[in-house]
Amino acid sequence: AALLCQEHSLPDEYLVQELLTRLKNTAEEKEGNESETKRQQGQVVRFGDAIELQHVTTGKIISLSKQQAYERAAKKLDMVVEGSEASTLSIRPAVKAYATGELVGSGDLVVLNLIKKIAGFSYSVHLGAAENEKWQATIVKA
């Protein structure tokens, strides 16, 4: 950090050191997330699991932004390049016929709960297909 400050005439070595530390921590976290994703691929999904939904074609992650959360009638989700706490969802059964820990099957009705609270509120994402097969998301504040 000291050498970098001297080379570029930066006044505050402490801030540069803090920035370098944060960059290193971010890189380590990203590497850990990637290895966890590889480990989890192909695993069976159970009710109660934490998941991220990734778009097959673009590779982007579905996420709920704070802006979308604050809008009262928001029905849109964001597609972001990298996931965040606002893209980690917990998969729950929509009906009480299933319990946490049971396998999620094809055709099961599910509710996706945002794990991280935004502005003190929990949010659920309800996905459904209309007659024309376009998927629509409804965001519900709990």
H-helix or E-strand spanning residue 7: helix 2-8
CB 142 within 8 A of CB 123: yes
Categorize the per-residue pLDDT at 138 as very low, low, confident or very high, splitting at 50, 70 and 90. Answer: low
Segment 33-84, tens digit of pLDDT: 778 778 877 788 889 888 888 888 888 887 776 666 666 655 567 777 877 7
pTM for the model stands at: 0.62
pLDDT at 9: 76
d(CA 19, CA 25): 10
Residue 34 is predicted with a pLDDT of: 77
- Provide mean pLDDT across the span 15-44: 81
Contacts 24+ apart (CB under 8 A), 72-78: 74/139, 75/136, 75/137, 75/138, 75/139, 76/137, 77/125, 77/137, 77/139
